[in-house]
Amino acid sequence: MVLQYRLRLYLVALILLSAFTGLLFRLWDVQITSQALYASQLSPTSKVTVRVPGVRGEIKDRNGETLVSNRLEYQLVLNLRVIVKDYDPAAHGRTERPKIARKTPRDDLRPNTKITDIATIVEETVIGPLKELGLEIDLGPVRHQIANHYDMTWPAGLVPYTLPLALTYDQFAMLSERSLEIPGLQPQAAPVRQYNYGSLACHTLGYVRKADRTKDLDDLKALALSDGPERDEAKRWLRNDHVYEPDPFGFSAIERSMDQYLKGRAGEREHLIDQKGVYVRDTRNEFPQKGYDVRLTLDLRAQYIAEMALRKANDGKGIGRGAAVIIDPNNGGILAMASVPTFDPNKFIPAITREDFKRYRDDDSHPLISRATSAYAPGSTFKIATAFAGSLARSEGNKNVRNQYGCSGAITYGKNTRIKCMSILGHGTLGLQRAIMKSCNCYFYQYGNHAGIEQIKKVTTMMGLGTRLGLPISESSLLLVGDPAYLQARGKGERWTAANTAHISIGQGYVGTSPLQMANVAAIAANGGKYYKVRLVDGIEEGDGTRVEDFAPKVLFDLTEHGVTPETIDTVRLGMRDVVNATGGTARRARLDNVIVAGKTGTAQYTKNGETLNSAWFIAFAPFDKPQYALAVFVEDGKSGGKVAAPIAKRILQELFRGPSFARYRTLADAQGHFDTHEEISYDGGLWTVPEGEQDTADTVVSVNDPAVLGTLDTTNSEHKPQSSEVRERASIISPRESRER
């Protein structure tokens, strides 16, 4: 009995062993011996390499405070290939997939062709179900974009499309749970640009834009035909088995100029695709890398103070249109550069809505333009440059330039050109120091003419007023100083006169400078005549702070080495000190109790739509003995520099000298523009006035009646008008007509 069962067990074991042996033999035959035969019968597969955009580096202030970073945004990604594959025309009352005519730059290659109407399919299969889940999406603004995205990848729709929509966390969580109900829907978290303080320093930081695949492919083709080092890489991405997904790119200001450093190193994903174009799996995934960080010279605290001083003026209404710039006079670093009105760069991420862009574009106060780098008539602040020009002329042997001139209230040029001073009765005989304190026009009419227009032009070049300063942001040409050749080039038969030079000498006529340039003038006076290259970028860094590249301070000109005497610079500095601190100075509203401030007021006239208006200026540095800050304040439609611009500068300096602040800086909303005329500037309901008993000299109006000299510049197009649907960052010179000083 036992033997019988044992034989059965052996028999079963033998059968199983034989079966496994046969199976192993068959597997060997299929996979090893006959591998080539069976492989030839399989559907062929291919690999497609997709470029993954890099992660942008951060932008930081001089102390390492992050101004621009990346945040995780919850997005909706559409796998267009899956959506099309799952689409059932019959379920939507159709006999076939909807088609549209091709509308891409490739029309000339494949005219009159029809492509899948991917936008309609997405609306029917994705947007509709999302609406039932409580999420309404308007696909209208991106219909053309999504069609191009689908059509210009091969296989069609291989690269997923990201909707320009930011989800809340609750929406993201809900869709993550229910995404399987909507084929092709992929909620994901991805890094996007974040401007941490809203509109703060928006004109300096700029913003990024979503990549345009059509444009980038055209750029790749151009690179592939070039002889540059990127030729081979461009050719690689133009192959049919490679899909080029471009990076978001910096569109303006620092984001644009530093784009080569900020943009990260792209990654790559390698997809396995079968014969039918169906995605099988990823065979390789190389993650993208973060770009370099850009360290600016900006100081977050100084920038915040300047912004708030412009916004909080007039009991919180703000100045509407103007700028404030702060420079370190010891190295040329820009500590703050504020302009109002402002825009919020976050609105451009991932793409600005039509409504928001239309609001910015159609705003008559032009919030997209930086007034800090735009050109305006500088008024009496320009007298500082004129003062140095006289010293330069004397050093070159011009004995006509004197230290003292008389002022009787007006100067007459030619037969009928009478140009007045701020004082109808005149200032009497003055030296340079007192002429600066009193802002005497007659003194500088004579001083400038004796120095000569060529010396004025020469010294402005040595102070950075004759050219762009080379910053990584847009600047206007900034200075227009006339001469006989200039008038001849105008082709109107005009000739240069002494009256023209007189107007230039007081910052009117054919001259325009920016608040940034005038802050630099204050810095040059503050440090004894050294023109440091104005810097906005301090260095390029790795994520751990390791420096990759430094932008060190550099002296471009030392006025004392080119003929301007140290004695003249000292006299100018003393005159600027007296402007703020001496009885009768034009900027007594800017004085501080514990710090000696030196400054210069200016009030310039300009025309707009045939109306004559004023702009208020004030430049300053402090402390007087060991300057830490040089600044310029500019206010459009300000009646006088002393009553309008000087109080703003005082507010800025008060806050700067309070010492370190550990306050939490809040995100700033848009500063709104307006066209109010400013008689005086107040803060918290209080006006800053001159000391009791002193005569106010800051608001004296100077009128000029000279049709032969005035109104010679065409100012009909002087307003900042956007020239296209894109942001126009260049600024116009607003040309003056008449002379005013305060």
Whether the CB-CB separation of 452 and 496 falls below 8 Å is answered with no
What's the pLDDT score for residue 5? 66
Rounded CA-CA distance 4/2 in Å is: 5
Share of the chain above pLDDT 70, in %: 81
Whether the CB-CB separation of 187 and 175 falls below 8 Å is answered with yes
Instruction: Provide CB contacts within 8 A for 623, sequence distance 6+.
Output: 595, 596, 597
Per-residue pLDDT reduced to its tens digit, 344-375: 999 988 778 788 888 999 899 999 999 999 98
Model confidence at 529: pLDDT above 90: yes
**Out of 27-36, 238-247, 697-706, which region has the weakest mean confidence (pLDDT)?**
697-706
Share of the chain above pLDDT 90, in %: 39
Rg (CA), the chain: 35
Reported pTM:
0.81
- Mean pLDDT, rounded, for 213-220: 62
Would strands 59-60 and 293-296 be described as parallel, antiparallel, or unpaired? parallel
State the amino acid at position 109 in one-letter form.
L
- Choose the CATH number for 300-687 among 3.30.420.40, 3.30.910.10, 3.30.360.10, 3.40.710.10: 3.40.710.10
The widest CA-to-CA distance across the chain, in whole angstroms, is 147
Neighbours of 241 (CB within 10 A): 13
Instruction: Provide CB contacts within 8 A for 406, sequence distance 6+.
Output: 426, 428, 429, 430, 442
Whether the CB-CB separation of 485 and 357 falls below 8 Å is answered with no
Rounded CA-CA distance 392/356 in Å is: 52
Task: Quickly tell me which residue has 């000109």 as its tokens.
Answer: 557
**Best CA proximity match to 184, nearest among 168, 163, 210, 164:** 163
Whether the CB-CB separation of 335 and 703 falls below 8 Å is answered with no
Average pLDDT, the chain: 81
Model confidence at 730: pLDDT above 50: no
Cα–Cα distances (Å) from 216 to 219, 244, 269, 355, 386, in that order, read: 5, 9, 19, 27, 50
Q: Rounded to the nearest 5°, which phi and psi values hold at 543?
A: -60, -25
Task: Quickly tell me which residue has 């000739």 as its tokens.
Answer: 495
Per-residue pLDDT reduced to its tens digit, 316-343: 899 999 999 999 999 999 999 999 999 9
pLDDT band (50, 70, 90) for residue 234:
confident
- Mean pLDDT, rounded, for 217-243: 70
In CATH, the architecture of 61-295 is: Alpha-Beta Complex (3.90)
DSSP designation for 521:
H
In the chain, domain spans: 61-295, 300-687
Q: Is 189 helix (H, G, I), strand (E, B) or coil?
A: strand
Cα–Cα distances (Å) from 314 to 47, 531, 647, 683, in that order, read: 65, 35, 11, 6
What's the pLDDT score for residue 693? 67
Whether the CB-CB separation of 404 and 429 falls below 8 Å is answered with yes
Rounded CA-CA distance 410/638 in Å is: 24
Whether the CB-CB separation of 400 and 376 falls below 8 Å is answered with no
Residues making up the chain, counted from first to last = 742
Q: Is 465 helix (H, G, I), strand (E, B) or coil?
A: coil
What's the pLDDT score for residue 489? 65
- Mean pLDDT, rounded, for 80-108: 71
Model confidence at 430: pLDDT above 70: yes
Q: How many helices (H) and strands (E) does the chain have?
A: 23, 28
For residue 541, give the H/E element and its range. Answer: strand 537-541
Q: Extract the runs of DSSP E, i.e. beta strands, from 410-459.
A: 410-413, 417-420, 428-430
Model confidence at 198: pLDDT above 90: yes
Q: Label residues 101-125 b or e (16+ Cβ within 10 Å = b).
A: ebeeeeeeeeeeeebbbbbbbbbbb
Task: Quickly tell me which residue has 């800050």 as its tokens.
Answer: 629
* Assigned token pair, 482: 């006339």
DSSP designation for 51:
E
- Mean pLDDT, rounded, for 198-206: 95
- Mean pLDDT, rounded, for 476-482: 62
pLDDT band (50, 70, 90) for residue 302:
very high
Alpha helices (H) in 103-178, listed in sequence order: 118-122, 128-132, 143-151, 169-178
Whether the CB-CB separation of 624 and 606 falls below 8 Å is answered with no
Per-residue pLDDT reduced to its tens digit, 574-606: 999 999 999 989 999 999 999 999 999 999 887
Please calculate the CA angle 443-447-450 and round it to the nearest 5 degrees: 145
Model confidence at 707: pLDDT above 50: no
- Mean pLDDT, rounded, for 146-169: 73
The DSSP line for 561-601 is GTT--HHHHHHHHHHHHHHHHSTT-TTGGG--SSS--EEEE
Q: Rounded to the nearest 5°, which phi and psi values hold at 70?
A: -120, 140
For residue 462, give the H/E element and its range. Answer: helix 453-462
**Cα 666 from chain centroid (whole Å):** 20
**Which residues partner with 604 through β-bridges?**
615
State the amino acid at position 377 in one-letter form.
A
Cα–Cα distances (Å) from 646 to 174, 252, 435, 673, in that order, read: 56, 31, 19, 20
Task: Quickly tell me which residue has 């800086």 as its tokens.
Answer: 665
What's the pLDDT score for residue 177? 75
DSSP designation for 346:
G
Model confidence at 736: pLDDT above 90: no
Model confidence at 732: pLDDT above 60: no
DSSP designation for 685:
T
Whether the CB-CB separation of 4 and 10 falls below 8 Å is answered with no
Per-residue pLDDT reduced to its tens digit, 35-54: 666 655 555 567 777 777 78
Q: Rounded to the nearest 5°, which phi and psi values hold at 180?
A: -65, -20
- Mean pLDDT, rounded, for 271-294: 74
Rounded CA-CA distance 99/13 in Å is: 65
Left (φ > 0), alpha (ψ -120 to 50) or beta: where does 478 sit? left
Instruction: Provide CB contacts within 8 A for 621, sequence distance 6+.
Output: 329, 522, 523, 525, 526, 576, 597, 598, 599, 627, 629, 630, 631
Q: Extract the runs of DSSP E, i.e. beta strands, from 165-216.
A: 185-195, 208-209
Rounded CA-CA distance 118/348 in Å is: 25
